[in-house]
Amino acid sequence: MSEVLARLDAVIAERRRSADPATSYVAKLCHGGLDRILKKVAEESGETLLAAKNVERGGDRRELVGETADLWFHCLVMLAKLDLQSSDVLAELDRRFDLSGIAEKAAREHTSRAD
């Protein structure tokens, strides 16, 4: 599964570096700056939430999958703009894997209060 993310990371990085914003959606987003990318992440988040509520009411599950794919894609563009990759997120998820969600959240809250 992470092979797909790695391939997307590579394509996003390449288009960010050398693609023309007139012909590449990724280049256009990145050329617009972080605020433009964050606006798309927020938009896709809202669409994903609405699709999830729709599925709960018997709507099309494929719509939710599609909206989630859009959200993930735009999150990958955001990460790339900030010189991060999906592997950074996967490493963090892996680190948390054997932790209780409650214990992990408490540890984060304790750390942020200590700062």
Which domain does 14 fall in, by range? 2-114
* Interval 87-114: pLDDT, tens: 999 999 998 888 776 776 777 676 666 6
* Interval 14-56: pLDDT, tens: 999 999 999 999 999 999 999 999 999 999 999 999 999 999 9
CATH number of the domain that 70 lies in? 1.10.287.1080
First to last CA, the chain: 36
CA atoms within a 13 Å half-sphere pointing along the CA-CB vector of 102: 0
Residues present in the chain in total: 115
Specify the number of domains making up the chain: 1
Residues whose CB is less than 8 angstroms from the CB of residue 60 and which lie 6 or more positions away in sequence, other chains included: 54
